Amino acid sequence: MDHAGRTTEPDKRMLRRELLSVRNRLTADDVREAGATLAERALELPELARARTVAAYVSVGGEPGTLALLDALRARGVRVLLPALLPDNDLDWGAYAGEGSLARVQHGGKMALFEPAGERLGPDAVASADVVLLPGLAVDARGMRLGRGGGSYDRVLARLERAGARPALVVLLYDAEVVQSVPAEAHDRPVHAVVTPSGVRRFASP
């Protein structure tokens, strides 16, 4: 495997297909139950306990449910930012004001996403977050995250680095998605922690 990506991308695509096929077999109850347990686990994180602003996302499909966590954070008085996908796959941000503030948006042939319906704050708004909750398909023993392949969160992480922002980076996954190794490239950065229904695993600081 080399950093030019000649073998990495096919490896990533194969692993993504395997992980998504497992998620696709989950029932709505599985997703909801995992989301409720994940919220409990995540809320125990000291980083979230002291956070004033959290950048998060609304789960879709077989992703572990995030709405319970978003509502719990908002009930604590935390400012929750949610992404809105831009045409170039970058992310704009808006504030979460409860489930009724979400709009279902269809992006071409891609999966429909739930995005904040209110004011757009600009792509740089993520730099104000104390914690960034990242979607993913897997994380490995080094803390390297496998995303869906759209590159949106690679841009977010690069933007945070350029801004000198150092929020805690946390991935929300199912237990079986914490794996020994995922294909990584030179630009990939490890996350600080992964939360699954069975608990929290921390990694060395990126």
- How far apart are the C-alpha atoms of 123 and 83, rounded to whole Å? 9
Q: What is the DSSP letter of 146?
A: E
Q: Which pLDDT does position 5 carry in this prediction?
A: 41
Cα–Cα distances (Å) from 22 to 14, 115, 136, 138, in that order, read: 13, 25, 14, 12
What pLDDT shows up at residue 167? 96
Question: For residue 2, what pLDDT is reported?
Answer: 40
Helix (H, G, I), strand (E, B) or coil at 85: strand
Taking only the tens of pLDDT, the chain with its 206 residues reads 444 444 567 688 888 888 888 888 888 888 888 889 999 999 999 999 999 999 999 998 888 989 999 999 999 999 999 999 998 889 999 999 988 899 999 887 667 889 999 899 999 999 999 999 999 999 999 999 998 877 899 899 999 999 999 999 999 999 999 998 888 777 778 999 999 999 999 987 54
> What is the structure's pLDDT at 205?
59
- The one-letter amino acid at 7: T
* pLDDT for 189: 82
The pLDDT assigned to 8 comes to 67
CB atoms within 10 A of CB 105: 13
Domains delineated in the chain: 8-202 (3.40.50.10420)
Residue 206: predicted pLDDT: 47
